[in-house]
Amino acid sequence: MPTRLIIFLLLLSTSTKSQQPNIIYIMSDDHDADAISAYNKKLINTPNLDRIAKGGMRFNNCFVGNSICSPVRATVLTGQHSHKNGVKDNRTPFDSSKITIPKLLRAAGYQTALIGKWHLHSLPSGFDYWKILPGQGLYNDTRFIRMSKDTVTINGYATELITDEAINWLRDRDKSKPFFLMLHHKAPHRNFLPSLKWLEEWHNKKIPEPPTLYADTVSKGTASKTQKMSILADMKICNDLKVDPAYIMDIPWLKPDSADINNYRITFNRIPEPDRSKMKAIYAERGKILKERRPQGKELLALKYQWYMQDYLACVASIDENVGRVLDYLAANALNNNTIVIYTSDQGFFLGENGWFDKRFMYDVSMNTPLLMKWDGKIKAGTVNNSLVQNIDFGPTMLGLAGVSIPSFMQGINLKDLVLGNQKTIPRKSLYYHYYEYPWDHNVLPHLGVRQERYKLIYFYTVNEWELYDLKTDPNEQKNLIKSKQHQSTLKQLKKELEELRQYYDDTDDPPLSFRADTIPHLVISSLKGIY
């Protein structure tokens, strides 16, 4: 059936346009919930993000179905898990001909815009206006691709530039229509580079260490042994932590390779003077410490963790500041009462837990993502929700709040009644997860699993290894209970639930084609059928 006809049929039951709220969907990149003070006050104060939480609803149990950038973006657009929307990894282009949230809202009378990070290896469609970063984008003097398909460089810091563009669009929009704005930040994505203002604020702060920073993950299983997201082993001294290579060339275990040195130089060449010299002087303090102490092992890990977190949280501070600019614009232009503001991240992020950075794993640190939602007069201020929600729900919920019919192909739940306080729970007892991308970037083995309120089961199917966790007694997921005699009935029930979810979401490839034995011969491919 032609796309236009499908959209027309879906819109037959759309409510009156005059009642439709504006929607601003703000998504940062790799912003873990613990780096928002509405969730955790130990790391950072984020007063503007907290304004959304205090003025509306904070979701404590929001999760993604595939913790990696491009697949999450495709899921938000389509309301589908990765195997259905076609984007399983960061390398597969998104099919822009698909029916998406902006297309449906646009057909329902909305003016639609996308500004910031896209990262789907195709050009956006369904938007009246878009201006996107090529790929990951850059922190300083970043390039933007415009609708004319030319690329321009705009001087400034990415978080501020993206916010400038968003506010300009809000100011110049067609004010006779409701609007849907997707505002996608690059920050705080690696390689973490704060603006000078926030680097000066954060570079001397002492960040509390997570309890599992020095945990032994090697004994957990093959996936933990072979990952390459260790702060100690894999975080680059020059590129990631901005240490001038001149300080460490004579320290064998710290000596950077040519790529690390080159990336360091490229990074600082994009920072204009006088900021460049001021930032290099601050980062020189790290180099002096390394040169003097020549640290190894836990001492080196402790230092790298502090520097990583200082830069990461300084990037978050800029996000918070610029979210405040958007909220202030809404307030100053009488848009508060009929504008839904949603803040989230594309996934969670390891902030030193297990001694790691990055995401990808089904462990709660990376599977869990922040979700804050405000709609003055409609969503009760200061509400906290503990339901199991997932990013497949975002699209159906935005359509539901806009009064637009939800296509049957969307796999998520419309959370409208939950958000507006008309119901307390949703009909979901478990969440489905499937990660595919291997071996690129961080060497995390593909896996799938099921998460319930208390228990989680993960299956690393290319090596035929299972992990079972009791999230109530072991929230940090350190003790694998797969061989525990008293948990065998739980294991059996979770395996059954996992199979049922695979059938329910129609994820029945066996195994995924990208992991055939002839393409990765050193892995043992175990059939997903007949193991229950």
Q: pLDDT per residue over 92-118, tens digit each?
A: 999 999 999 999 999 999 999 999 999
Residues 222 and 336 in one domain: no
| Contact criterion met (CB below 8 Å) for 117 and 132 | yes
pLDDT in tens, 452-478: 999 999 999 999 999 999 999 999 999
The pLDDT-based confidence of 3 (bands split at 50, 70, 90) is low
Range from 18-27, 149-158, 428-437 carrying the lowest mean pLDDT: 18-27
CB atoms within 10 A of CB 183: 27
Residues 168 and 23 in one domain: yes
Sign of the CA dihedral running 118, 120, 121, 123: negative
Q: What angle do CA 326, 332, 335 make, to 5 degrees?
A: 75
Task: Write down the pLDDT at residue 2.
Answer: 54
In angstroms, the CA 243 to CA 228 distance is: 21
Q: How many helices (H) and strands (E) does the chain have?
A: 16, 16
For residue 289, what are the domain limits? 218-309
Q: Is residue 528 part of a domain?
A: no
Domain CATH number, residue 496: 3.30.1120.10
Together in a domain, 73 and 186: yes
CATH of the domain at 379: 3.40.720.10
Residue in 434, 475, 399 with CA at minimum distance from that of residue 13: 399
What is the model's pLDDT at position 219?
73
Within-domain flag for 417:
yes
Which tokens sit at 411? 């796999």
SS percent in the chain: helix, strand, coil, step 5: 40, 15, 45
C-alpha angle with apex 386: 381 to 389, nearest 5 degrees?
Answer: 105
* Co-location of 131 and 111 in the same domain: yes
Q: Is residue 202 in some structural domain?
A: no
Residue pair 431/65 in contact (Cβ under 8 Å)? The answer is yes
Q: If pLDDT is split at 50, 70 and 90, which confidence band does 218 have?
A: confident
* 3-state secondary structure labels for all residues of 221-254: CHHHHHCCCEHHHHCCCCCCCCCCHHHCCCCCCC
- The verdict on residue 89 lying in a domain is yes
Rounded to an integer, what is the distance from CA 521 to the centroid of its chain? 31
Phi, psi of 499 (to 5 degrees): -65, -40
Omega before 191 within 30 of 0, i.e. cis: yes
Measured CA to CA in angstroms, residue 308 lies from 3, 67, 117, 199, 346 at distances of: 46, 21, 22, 12, 20
Euclidean distance between CA atoms 526 and 532, whole angstroms:
13
* Look-up of token digits 């507006």: 420
Indicate the average pLDDT of the chain: 93
- Note whether residue 523 is domain-resident: no
CA separation for the pair 264, 238 (Å, rounded): 6
Over range 73-88, report the average pLDDT: 98
Distance, in Å, from the CA atom of 90 to the CA atom of 438, rounded to the nearest integer, reads: 10
Sign of CA dihedral 156, 158, 162, 167: negative
pLDDT value, residue 309: 98
In-domain check, residue 529: no
pLDDT digits (tens, 9 = 90+) for 331-350: 999 999 999 999 999 999 99
pLDDT tens digit sequence for 389-420? 999 999 999 999 999 999 999 999 999 999 99
Within this chain, do residues 36 and 143 fall inside the same structural domain, yes or no? yes
Number of domains in the chain: 3
CB 460 within 8 A of CB 436: no
Query: Do 75 and 162 fall into the same domain?
Result: yes
pLDDT digits (tens, 9 = 90+) for 273-326: 999 999 999 999 999 999 999 999 999 999 999 999 999 999 999 999 999 999
Query: Which residue, 309, 330, 361, sits at the end of a domain?
Result: 309
Judge if 451 and 357 occupy the same domain: no
Please state, in angstroms and rounded to a whole number, the distance separating the CA atoms of residues 323 and 317.
Answer: 10
Beta bridge partners of residue 115, listed in sequence order: 131, 183
The answer to whether residue 201 sits within a structural domain is: no
The total of other beta-carbon atoms located within 10 Å of residue 377's CB is 9
- On whether residue 348 sits in a domain, the answer given is yes
Does residue 498 share a domain with residue 452? yes
Residues 392 and 484 in one domain: no
The CB density around residue 134, as the number of other CB atoms within 10 Å, is: 14
Beta bridge partners of 465: 460
Tokens read off for 399: 């359509």
Q: 3-class SS at 312? A: helix
d(CA 128, CA 139): 26
Calculate what percentage of the chain has a pLDDT beyond 70. Answer: 92
Residue 486: predicted pLDDT: 97
Q: Where are the alpha helices (DSSP H) in 182-334?
A: 196-202, 222-226, 231-234, 258-269, 275-293, 297-332
Same domain, 298 and 389: no
* pLDDT given at position 529: 37
Shared-domain flag, residues 104 and 250: no
Q: What's the confidence (pLDDT) of residue 519? A: 37
Residue where a domain stops, chosen among 376, 392, 423: 423
Question: Which one of 260, 277, 309 terminates a domain?
Answer: 309
Q: Are residues 31 and 152 in the same domain?
A: yes
Measure the CA–CA gap between 321 and 453, rounded to whole angstroms: 34
